[in-house]
């Protein structure tokens, strides 16, 4: 086996390990929260609902 084939196998195994790490089920909640950032960000100030309450979770007006 030459070095090129060995490097290909090493990088392929590293790629599979990275994919398994990124897509593990325990990270789903974090990725969903991070995916909502563009929807919750307002360049002019905090996001407000039509009734005037904060849109952020856990906050009460």
Sorted by where each begins, the domain ranges of the chain are 1-26
Contact present, 23 and 30 (Cβ < 8 Å): no
Contact present, 46 and 61 (Cβ < 8 Å): no
pLDDT of residue 51: 60
CA atoms of 19 and 32, how far apart (whole Å): 17
pLDDT tens, residue order, the chain (61 aa): 689 999 999 999 999 999 999 999 988 899 899 888 888 876 666 555 556 565 555 555 4
pLDDT of residue 40: 81
pLDDT of residue 12: 98
* Phi (first) and psi of residue 30, to 5 degrees: -65, -45
pLDDT of residue 1: 67
pTM of the model: 0.51
């Amino acid at each position: 086996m030459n070095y090129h084939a060995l490097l290909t196998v090493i990088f392929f195994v590293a790629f599979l390990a990275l994919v398994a790490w990124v897509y593990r089920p325990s990270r789903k909640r974090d990725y969903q929260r991070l995916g909502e950032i563009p929807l919750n960000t307002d360049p002019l100030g905090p996001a407000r609902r039509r009734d005037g309450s904060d849109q952020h979770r856990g906050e009460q007006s």
